[in-house]
């Protein structure tokens, strides 16, 4: 059993830590020169986590993974600081060294993050550690046990007073720390909203406005009257989010530039305005994450505004049919260092490979890569869709981008997939006409046919297809099932524009995308 004395000292250490952490968050809210220490440490932890584990966590938990990671990290820091305070009763030197080491982890993780200052980070780190130690020492000093008092009642009284003082001090430090953290967060978010420019889609500087492929009337693109059908265009706020960034980089388009580098005859740099000077394109493209499970929702369809990657590459001196081995790969590099790479020929083969700055008629939202990102039809995001894009490097095929270094497949073509949206697992439905519907996608190839089975794949019926907006966009389908009472296993499979039908074989997302038919079991009652 830990003595109450020890417990108090430990609590004092934890309170000091809360204050120290809170102060770093407050500073981060006040100035852009200092990032959130907690978030940058979390970022490093994610980077150091073995690839498969990190993606599994990010893929299945999304942003919850970051929240869990942060909670665990903060808990560990508080426990360690409690231990350090207890240790300080025996060796102030050792305990002090421990506190400095913790601060150093925060400082070193933060150094070099976009737009920050090393001096400011160092000063913040030193101040936070100093303040934490000071607060801890102060609390311990006022948390004397009153053991020296001889009379029992006096001892009790003194103890009670100390306890009250202790609670006030430790509690006060914790409240101060927590409110600093909250304040810092509010300030940082406010700034993010104001500096991530306006949400308005920038207008192309090019005369003649935006050119885009003609699209059929939106009423024919989906079966919106059917309950549960996804919208044809995924609203920005509902669009899935996958990235390794624990916080979306906050890029100001005024100081931003995109460089085209590597093995090109004419490397150059583009400011935001210069990017807008290229002819603007607007295209509907479905993008998907390789981590998407069969039936999962890591897929979205948006109208992307941007410029053709091919136009920008041409300016750099690159042409189709003239790609040599030294420029076989295009590597997109993000302001946070993340990389994605794909075959250069895929940017030049006529597909609508874009450097996008707009999404569904708005400026690219910060979480989706403001001010610009790559969108390459037909490729999973991990090899292609670099957000917060700052460099396009032409290099040879030997370079391995972020997820390739973590054992995912080198080439990431999006596999043909289909999903059932209008009925759910173990649902009980009533006999009669049941609308079974959803989406199917095979970007660059298009969807030619969708079939539904209600007997676990023994027999298949053709579903009705909505218009195909473009071969890069998903296609809605509907099967009006005349159902009689019983238990059913409903499945869907799609055939792409090349005539190839999705395989029934089950595969995990790693290394090159999940396969298998989306399967839903339902009971139909009379």
Contact of 35 with 112, CB cutoff 8 Å: no
Only segment of 7-15, 233-241, 308-316, 444-452 that touches ligand MTE (CB under 6 A) = 233-241
Could you give the 3-state DSSP secondary structure of residue 85? Answer: helix
- Cite the DSSP H helix spans in 142-208: 152-195
How big is the site for ligand MTE, counted in residues (CB under 6 A)?
18
**Is 518 among the residues that bind ligand MTE (CB under 6 A)?**
no
What is the pattern of x (binds ligand MTE, CB under 6 A) and - over residues 323-352?
-----------x-x-x--------------
Kindly state the smallest distance separating residue 51's Cβ from ligand MTE, in Å. Answer: 12
Q: How far is the CB of 291 from Mo ion (least distance, A)?
A: 5
Distances (CA, A) of 102 to 98, 238, 339, 496: 6, 38, 30, 54
Closest by Cα among 441, 445, 429 to 465 = 441
Residue nearest to Mo ion (CB): 289
The entry of Mo ion, ligand MTE, none that residue 493 binds, CB within 5 to 8 Å by partner kind: none
Least CB distance from residue 402 to ligand MTE, whole Å?
A: 7
Q: According to CB under 6 A, which one of 241, 409, 429, 465 is a site residue for ligand MTE?
A: 241
Neighbour order of strands in the sheet with 389-395: 268-271, 257-262, 389-395, 329-334, 339-343
From residue 436, alpha-carbon distances to 150, 320, 330, 495 in Å are 82, 44, 41, 18
- Cis before 511? omega within 30: yes
Considering only CA atoms, which of 187, 311, 173, 297 is closest in space to residue 238?
A: 297
Q: Extract the tokens encoding 205.
A: 């500087």
- The Cα–Cα gap between 181 and 129 comes to 15
C-beta closer to ligand MTE: residue 22 or 59: 59
Integer Cα distance of 410 and 401 in angstroms: 8
289 or 354, CB closer to ligand MTE?
Answer: 289
Q: Which lies closer to ligand MTE via its Cβ, residue 240 or residue 268?
A: 240
Interactions with Mo ion, residue window 361-390 (CB under 5 A) = 381-382
Q: Is 242 in the site for Mo ion (CB under 5 A)?
A: yes
Cα separation of 203 and 485, whole Å?
56
Ranges within 348-387 binding ligand MTE (CB under 6 A): 368, 381-382, 385-387
- The window from 63-71, 175-183, 235-243, 483-491 that contacts ligand MTE (CB under 6 A) reads 235-243
**Cα–chain-centroid distance for residue 456?**
35
Q: Which is nearer to ligand MTE, 62 or 146 (CB)?
A: 62
For ligand MTE, the binding residue among 108, 240, 397, 460 (CB under 6 A) is 240
Q: How far is the CB of 63 from ligand MTE (least distance, A)?
A: 10
397 scored as a contact of ligand MTE (CB under 6 A):
no
Q: Judged by CB under 5 A, which of 275, 289, 404, 447 binds Mo ion?
A: 289
- What distances in angstroms separate CA 386 from CA 19, 33, 65, 223, one per listed residue? 37, 25, 21, 32
243 binds ligand MTE (CB under 6 A): yes
DSSP string, 432-478: EEEEEEEEEE-TTT-EEEEEEESBTTSS-EEPEE---S-TTS-EEEE
Q: What CA–CA distance (Å, rounded) separates 206 from 379? A: 28
CA dihedral 236, 241, 243, 247 (to 10 degrees): 70
Task: Please choose, out of 16-24, 103-111, 234-242, 422-430, the segment that lies near ligand MTE by the rule CB under 6 A.
Answer: 234-242
- d(C-alpha 302, C-alpha 354), whole Å: 13
Candidates 143-151, 155-163, 239-247, 391-399: pick the segment binding ligand MTE (CB under 6 A).
239-247
Of residues 382 through 441, those in contact with Mo ion by CB under 5 A are 382
Map 223-268 to HEC letters. CCCCCCCCCCCCCHHHCCCCCCCCCCCCCCCCCCEEEEEECCCCCE
Nearer to ligand MTE, 239 or 272 (CB): 239
Distance of alpha carbon 65 from alpha carbon 243, whole angstroms: 11
Q: Which is nearer to ligand MTE, 37 or 382 (CB)?
A: 382
Pattern 279-308, ligand MTE, x by CB under 6 A: ----------x-------------------
Q: Of 184 and 369, which has the nearer Cβ to ligand MTE? A: 369
Q: How far is the CB of 334 from ligand MTE (least distance, A)?
A: 3
Contacting residues toward Mo ion, per CB under 5 A: 242, 289, 381-382
Contacting residues toward ligand MTE, per CB under 6 A: 239-245, 289, 334, 336, 338, 368, 381-382, 385-388
């Amino acid at each position: 059993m830990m003595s109450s004395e020890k417990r108090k000292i430990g609590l004092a250490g934890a309170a000091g830590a809360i204050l120290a952490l809170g102060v770093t968050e407050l500073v981060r809210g006040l100035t852009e020169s200092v990032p959130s220490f907690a978030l940058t440490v979390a970022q490093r932890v994610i980077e150091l986590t073995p690839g498969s584990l990190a993606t599994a966590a990010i893929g299945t938990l999304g942003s919850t993974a970051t929240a869990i990671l942060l909670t665990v990290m903060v808990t560990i820091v508080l426990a360690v600081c409690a231990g350090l305070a207890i240790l300080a009763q025996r060796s102030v030197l050792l305990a002090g060294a421990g506190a400095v080491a913790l601060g150093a982890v925060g400082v070193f993780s933060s150094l070099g993050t976009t737009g920050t200052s090393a001096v400011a980070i160092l000063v913040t780190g030193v101040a936070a550690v100093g303040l934490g130690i000071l607060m801890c020492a102060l609390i311990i000093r006022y948390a004397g046990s009153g053991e020296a008092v001889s009379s029992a009642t006096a001892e009790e009284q003194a103890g009670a007073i100390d306890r009250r003082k202790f609670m006030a001090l430790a509690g006060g430090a914790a409240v101060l720390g927590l409110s600093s953290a909250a304040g810092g967060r509010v300030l940082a978010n406010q700034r993010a909203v104001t500096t991530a420019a306006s949400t308005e889609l920038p207008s192309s500087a090019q005369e003649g406005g935006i050119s885009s492929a003609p699209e059929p009337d939106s009423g024919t693109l989906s079966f919106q009257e059917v309950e549960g059908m996804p919208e044809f265009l995924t609203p920005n706020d509902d669009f899935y989010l996958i990235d390794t960034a624990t916080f979306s980089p906050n890029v100001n388009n005024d100081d931003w530039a995109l460089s085209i580098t590597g093995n090109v005859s004419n490397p150059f740099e583009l400011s935001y305005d210069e990017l807008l000077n290229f002819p603007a394109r607007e295209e509907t493209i479905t993008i998907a994450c390789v981590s998407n499970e069969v039936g999962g929702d890591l897929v979205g369809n948006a109208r992307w505004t941007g410029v053709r990657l091919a136009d920008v590459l041409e300016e750099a001196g690159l042409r189709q049919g003239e790609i040599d081995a030294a420029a076989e790969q295009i590597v997109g590099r993000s302001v946070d260092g993340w990389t994605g790479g794909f075959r250069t020929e895929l940017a030049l083969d006529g597909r609508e490979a874009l450097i996008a700055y707009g999404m569904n008629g708005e400026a690219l939202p910060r979480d989706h890569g403001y001010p610009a990102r790559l969108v390459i039809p037909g490729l999973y995001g991990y090899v292609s869709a670099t957000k917060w894009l700052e460099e396009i490097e032409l290099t040879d095929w030997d370079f391995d981008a972020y997820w390739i270094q973590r054992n995912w497949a080198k080439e990431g073509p999006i596999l043909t997939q289909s999903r059932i949206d209008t009925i759910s697992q173990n649902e009980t439905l009533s006999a009669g006409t049941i609308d079974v519907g959803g989406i199917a996608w095979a970007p660059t190839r298009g969807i030619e046919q969708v079939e539904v089975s209600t007997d676990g794949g023994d027999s298949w019926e053709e579903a009705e297809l909505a218009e195909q907006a473009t071969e890069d966009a998903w296609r809605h389908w509907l099967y009006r099932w005349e159902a009689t009472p019983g238990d059913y296993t409903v499945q869907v499979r799609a055939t792409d524009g090349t005539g190839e039908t999705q395989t029934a074989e089950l595969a995990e997302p790693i290394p090159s995308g999940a396969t298998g038919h989306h399967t839903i079991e339902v009971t139909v009652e009379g």
